[in-house]
Chain A
Amino acid sequence: MKRIVPLWITAIVGLVLIISNFLPGTRSWGEEATTWFGIIAAVAFVLGGGSLLKVHLKKISDRNSGWAYSMIVLGTFSATLAVGLFKIGVSPNPAFPDVPWSGDVQGQGTPFWWVYEYVFKPLTATMFAMLAFYIASAAFRAFRAKNFEAVLLLGTAFIILLGRTFAGYFMTSWIPVDGPFSGLRLEELSVYIMQVFNTAGNRAIIIGIALGIAGTSLKILMGLDRSYLGGGD
């Protein structure tokens, strides 16, 4: 029972969605299923919040090391949740001022927006920006021209790095634009690499992945691959 029901759900949903591509009469079934999927995806956000709460509450009650940080997580979590769920400080929708809950919780000036603008945004953006530093460090310590393959990788990277800035233009601007060697200008060369070599490599990867996805999807829908239910079989 624990295994059979999910397998049937997967198979039925999958079958409906696949045939809705080919039998126009069943198209609306597919639409319903994908809309439900979106709703469930939104519920998954709630699940994410709930799991977070559970994990950190446990950490605090166990007095695990770093439980103070769990307090911070819980504190910011509940504060954000409160201002968002209860629409604290949100003015009503100007078209319906008599409905107090009609306001836009993400609108500029609301406390929820404040959390986004001054906490969420700088934190996530800075986390991402740190990559520039790591990439520099990796360049110095990890990218070695160990063999021919690595030389190809690094050489291509150099051409792209130079060709996509003013430096590339500056270095090879002496090559005439309409002469037979115009293709050697770095900005031209980088375009050529992208459109031929990169396209060829990525095309093979894309075709391979498409086959892999089709194969795996098939196994999942037929119940041959049950790893998503946990466990190997």
Chain B
Amino acid sequence: MNRQQLTLLSIVGIFVILLVARAFTGNGFGRIYVERGDASFVKVEVPVLDTPDGEEAEGKADGVRWTWVDASSDEAVDFAKAESPRAAWESVTPVSPRVYFEATIANEALQAAAETAYAGAMTGVDLGTALETWRLALLEKANAVAAGKAQPAVEVNWAALRTAGFTRKTSISAKAGGDFTASLDAIFDAARATGESDAETTFVVADGRGTVTTTADDVVPAIGLSWSRTIGLWLAAIFTLAIFSFLYKDNPLYKTAESVVVGVSAAYWMVIGLWDMIVPNLLGQLAPGFVQGNLIPGLAASDPNWAYLVPAIFGALLLMRLAPKGQYLSLWTLAFIVGTTAALRMVAYIEGDFLSQINATIAPLYQEVVNADGTVNGYSSFWASVRQITLVIGVLACLTYFFFSVEHKGAVGKVARVGIWFLMITFGAAFGFTVMGRIALLAARFEFLFDDWLWLIDPMNQRSAAVAVSCLF
């Protein structure tokens, strides 16, 4: 076995060991959980408060305004009618695995508790007392179950949960996640008041025993695995490793990743350029009505600004570069680009760099540092002065090095050499800082692999700490 193979083996080996260790310990890794819900909206007429007197903006006539509101908001409850236009789609919110785990533990505890029937007599007369006793007993049991779950279970028995009377709202939601007491209380409160918590979940007292039943047959779990994002995460991890594989040797995997990044980035820039710049800033000026009506309804409608035909034409000329003929026309646009940047930079560099840097360097060579009691601190003054003198000498010497009209001989040569020393120290500092930056970037990538993908570490407390440590030891 030669050294190359050994290196490869070491690198691959480390990752394989990590992967295997993760795969066989804990409760899986590299998954993304989301909470699914409904985003539904309704168009209603609401009163307008803040229009200045006498100004009747469009759609704001008669002190009312047509607007879309969230279907669960107060406005929707008040003003929505049966015929009001409605729209809805699925909303997806990512949740950390911890929320999912906690919800699972809570639900298991709750389920275990709810399955325990109340043993004593439960008649209509002292139903309240009986319920309370039962509630406490169930809570105790639920707590015991939850306490025994140092390791969160990953499998959720949805059928059992349904039987236990769970609807999406009362059981597994990010908000109630982990708090089974609240869920249990909600059911009992409902039971005390009406004997019914909602249309589907029923608390029944029969034969002296209390049970929770449900008639709902398709309870959709709110929190669950997101396949698209989980696949995405694994893809990201594979791409990360594919790029790292170039460190060993150029290989097809790397070349594939390379091609992907070329294709994706070019398209990404195009899309962003179109939606963030061309549509609002160019089309929004040339065809404000169309843009406002179809693409950016929030844009204030105004009259077309025909001056923007100029950049449109320049843009079109630039694209002539792709055409088989008339490519020279794109030089016109290039001329515009070059002229703009040259002029912008000429003024800004002279003002912001040239003058301001001279300004910052001009200071007394003798710097007086005064103590709190008003006396001059000789020691500090000395060093402050040395500092200023060094700075001025450094600037002058480096400028001499960049002086091209004179050969570097004699006195000029000596000063230029001092300048080189200053430059080398400058480059050394740049080197140190650059190393610093690069390592931080690598650390961030490793954090992605170890944290998001392998779930080896958990600095953001997204999963329970027990899971992370248990897989290593």
Residues of A at the B interface (CB closer than 8 Å) are: 2, 5-7, 9-18, 21, 32-52, 54, 66, 69-70, 72-81, 84-85, 91-99, 101-102, 105-106, 108-109, 112, 114-133, 135, 148-150, 152-161, 164, 180, 183, 190, 192-211, 213-214, 216-218, 220-221, 228-230
- CB distance A102 to B297 under 8 Å? yes
- CB distance A72 to B260 under 8 Å? yes
- CB distance A201 to B294 under 8 Å? no
- CB distance A120 to B432 under 8 Å? no
A135 to B430, CA, bound (A): 13
Within 8 Å by CB of B431, from A48, A91, A157, lies A157
Q: A76-B260, A76-B263, A197-B429 are in contact. Are A220 and B338 (CB under 8 A)?
A: yes
A213 to B259, CA, bound (A): 36
Contact of B262 with A by CB under 8 A: yes
19 A-B contacts (beta carbon < 8 Å): A15-B343, A17-B339, A17-B340, A36-B336, A38-B281, A49-B270, A51-B322, A73-B259, A91-B91, A122-B236, A155-B428, A156-B432, A160-B429, A198-B429, A204-B398, A208-B399, A216-B342, A218-B346, A229-B334
A180 to B383, CA, bound (A): 10
Q: Which residues of chain A are near B434, meaning CB under 8 Å? A: 135
- CB distance A52 to B266 under 8 Å? yes
The chain B residue sitting closest to A33, CB to CB, is: B340
Q: A36-B310, A96-B297, A210-B353 are in contact. Are A115 and B331 (CB under 8 A)?
A: no
Q: Nearest Cβ distance between residue B305 and chain A, in whole angstroms?
A: 10
- CB distance A123 to B261 under 8 Å? yes
Within 8 Å by CB of A80, from B271, B307, B319, B422, lies B271
Q: Nearest Cβ distance between residue B71 and chain A, in whole angstroms?
A: 10
Q: Which residues of chain A are near B87, meaning CB under 8 Å? A: 92, 97-98
Within 8 Å by CB of A149, from B43, B421, B444, B448, lies B421
Q: Which residues of chain A are near B264, meaning CB under 8 Å? A: 76-77, 80, 115, 119-120, 123
Interface size class of B (residues with CB under 8 A): 35 or more
Contact of B123 with A by CB under 8 A: no
Q: Which residues of chain B are near A114, meaning CB under 8 Å? A: 228-229, 232
Contact of B243 with A by CB under 8 A: yes
Give the residues from 324 to 346 in chain B that come closer than 8 angstroms, CB to CB, to chain A: 328, 331-346
- CB distance B318 to A161 under 8 Å? no
Tell which of A126, A131, A183, A190 has the most Cβ of chain B within 10 Å: A126
A98 to B312, CA, bound (A): 30
Q: Which residues of chain A are near B233, meaning CB under 8 Å? A: 118
Q: Which residues of chain A are near B277, meaning CB under 8 Å? A: 38-39, 41-42
Question: Chain B 25-42, CB within 8 Å of chain A: the 1/0 string?
Answer: 000000000000001010
A210 to B350, CA, bound (A): 6
Tell which of A42, A46, A122 has the most Cβ of chain B within 10 Å: A122
Q: Which residues of chain A are near B43, meaning CB under 8 Å? A: 98
Q: Nearest Cβ distance between residue B246 and chain A, in whole angstroms?
A: 7
Tell which of B68, B422, B432 has the most Cβ of chain A within 10 Å: B432
Contact of B24 with A by CB under 8 A: no
Q: Which residues of chain B are near A152, meaning CB under 8 Å? A: 421, 424-425, 428
Q: Which residues of chain A are near B321, meaning CB under 8 Å? A: 47, 50-51
- CB distance B335 to A118 under 8 Å? no
Closest 9 CB pairs of A and B: A200-B394, A156-B428, A160-B432, A201-B426, A84-B271, A204-B398, A118-B232, A76-B263, A6-B335
- CB distance A69 to B336 under 8 Å? no
- CB distance B331 to A42 under 8 Å? no
Within 8 Å by CB of A42, from B70, B228, B273, lies B273
Q: Which residues of chain B are near A9, meaning CB under 8 Å? A: 332, 335-336, 339
- CB distance A47 to B338 under 8 Å? no
- CB distance B340 to A14 under 8 Å? yes
A97 to B297, CA, bound (A): 10
Q: Which residues of chain A are near B427, meaning CB under 8 Å? A: 153, 156, 201
Within 8 Å by CB of A130, from B244, B276, B419, lies B244
Binds A, one of B46-54, B144-152, B435-443, B454-462: B435-443
Binds A, one of B125-133, B153-161, B354-362, B367-375: B354-362
Contact of B81 with A by CB under 8 A: no
Q: Which residues of chain B are near A180, meaning CB under 8 Å? A: 379
A156 to B70, CA, bound (A): 60
- CB distance B263 to A208 under 8 Å? no
Q: Which residues of chain B are near A117, meaning CB under 8 Å? A: 232, 236
- CB distance A200 to B424 under 8 Å? no
Contact of B23 with A by CB under 8 A: no
Within 8 Å by CB of B261, from A51, A96, A127, lies A127
Contact of B21 with A by CB under 8 A: no
Q: Which residues of chain B are near A116, meaning CB under 8 Å? A: 268
Q: Which residues of chain A are near B439, meaning CB under 8 Å? A: 132
- CB distance B346 to A96 under 8 Å? no
Q: Nearest Cβ distance between residue A108 and chain B, in whole angstroms?
A: 8
Q: Nearest Cβ distance between residue B107 and chain A, in whole angstroms?
A: 25
In the complex, given contacts A75-B263, A84-B275, A105-B275, what are 20 additional A-B residue pairs having Cβ atoms less than 8 angstroms apart? A10-B338, A37-B337, A41-B337, A48-B266, A51-B322, A66-B255, A69-B255, A80-B268, A91-B39, A123-B257, A125-B448, A130-B247, A148-B421, A152-B428, A157-B435, A159-B432, A160-B433, A199-B391, A201-B426, A214-B354
